Amino acid sequence: MRTALLTFLALLVVSAPAQAASVKVTWPSDREVKPGDEVAVTVKAQRKVQVSVVRTNAAGKPIARVAKRSLKAGTLKAKLAAAGTYAVRVDDGARVRSRAVKAVAPPEPPAPVTPPAAKAPSPWDCAPATVKTVDVQFAITTIRPGEIKPYSIVNTSDGCWAVGLGYGLEAQQPDGTWQPVPWQQPVPSIAFLFSKGAVFTKVLSVAADAAPGKYRLFEEGAATWPEFEVVA
């Protein structure tokens, strides 16, 4: 009797991994998609398994079910309607396997900095620039929320153009992309004649509730956008 019981237990130990290994899973090909894209997972098993797609929080814990089916051989498809983190899960009764998928919204292009309407430079002062190019001089690497820092731009183009006090700011997202900052940056509606080789000083203002992280300064015609850190 004891020998038979030991043999039965040994068979259970051996059969569980074999049963789990008998499930063939074809996971989604991409781990990062756009909101609205569809993901698909295909299984082939000896018996039915539970296949599901769930939305997860930042820690990977399921918070909402997107789709679920019991399949022996087939494909579950699900549309990831919103940006966020998801998990494709296959439960064969012995273990749960999963594959993380992110739905990431494509970054929006930086908002163009359009100088306010201004009187065109006089022809006898200098010829209008054919292509606007500037060199941004901003040596600051860190700044605190609520601080105001000056910076300069140098007209490296071939002529004059009107320059305003506006500028663009973008914040780096956790996934490495850049997005325009959420706070407003009101500036006086005024423009100045910017002659060839001239240096124009502007003021960068960081909101008092700006989140710590990496930011970059955007200027029209600049070849590079200076990056800096907002620190608490």
**Average pLDDT, integer, range 36-58:** 94
pLDDT at residue 186 in the model: 73
**Does residue 9 have a pLDDT over 60?**
no
**Average pLDDT, integer, range 24-42:** 92
Beta strands of the chain (E only): which ranges? Answer: 24-26, 32-33, 38-56, 62-79, 84-91, 96-103, 134-137, 142-143, 148-155, 161-164, 168-172, 178-180, 191-194, 199-205, 213-218, 227-230
Look-up of token digits 């970054």: 107
When pLDDT is cut at 50, 70 and 90, the band that residue 12 belongs to is: very low
Q: Report pLDDT digits (tens) over 110-168.
A: 888 787 776 665 544 678 899 999 999 998 999 999 999 999 999 999 999 888 888 99
pLDDT at residue 44 in the model: 94
**Does residue 22 have a pLDDT over 90?**
no
pLDDT at residue 228 in the model: 96
Q: Which domains does the chain have, with CATH numbers?
A: 24-103 (2.60.40.1930), 134-230 (2.60.40)
Distant-in-sequence contacts of 48-51, Cβ < 8 A, 24+ apart: 48/72, 49/23, 49/90, 49/91, 49/92, 49/93, 50/89, 50/90, 50/91, 50/92, 51/76, 51/88, 51/89, 51/90, 51/91
When pLDDT is cut at 50, 70 and 90, the band that residue 3 belongs to is: low
**Average pLDDT, integer, range 9-34:** 67
pLDDT at residue 118 in the model: 66
Higher pLDDT, 225 or 117: 225
Joined together, the tokens standing for residue 142 give 């860190």
Whole-model pTM: value is 0.45
Q: Report pLDDT digits (tens) over 51-110.
A: 999 999 988 899 999 999 999 999 999 999 999 999 999 999 889 999 999 999 888 888
